[in-house]
Amino acid sequence: MQTFTHIFKDEVSAPSYRWTNLDGSEGGIVAESANIHPTAIISPTAEVGPGARIDSYALVCEDARIGRWARIGRWARIGDRARIGNDARIGEGARIGEDACIEPGTCISADLT
């Protein structure tokens, strides 16, 4: 795994790497300090910020951004271009729709489409 310094949307720079999905396909940019379950799928244009956690079978779609220290529960789906704020929590199985913006510190336990 090759690491590089990446500047995330909130202008935080962090050592990062390109995620590889379980099927071998190229995934998005992930901060080295993030904790990603191996079964999570991260689209190639998505970004996962420092300290974020993505649980099993979660899906992060095209151009989605996961903020610092955010947590994405298992089987959750983050839609295209969605923004998950710093320290936000997305519960197990929740679906966040396209272009949704989840404010920092928010907890979502049900679908938001």
* Amino acid 9: pLDDT: 80
Nearest CA among 96, 85, 54, 49 for reference residue 71: 54
* Amino acid 3: pLDDT: 95
Cα(79)–Cα(28) distance, rounded to whole angstroms? Answer: 14
Domains of the chain: 3-108 (2.160.10.10)
Cβ–Cβ < 8 Å for 19, 30: yes
Q: Roughly how many angstroms between the first and final C-alpha of the chain, as a whole number?
A: 35
* Amino acid 65: pLDDT: 98
* Amino acid 10: pLDDT: 78
Long-range contacts of 12-21 (CB under 8 A, 24+ apart): 12/49, 12/50, 12/68, 14/49, 14/50, 19/48
Nearest CA among 12, 66, 16 for reference residue 41: 66
Per-10-residue mean pLDDT of the chain, 113 residues long, equals: 89 95 98 98 98 98 98 98 98 96 92 59
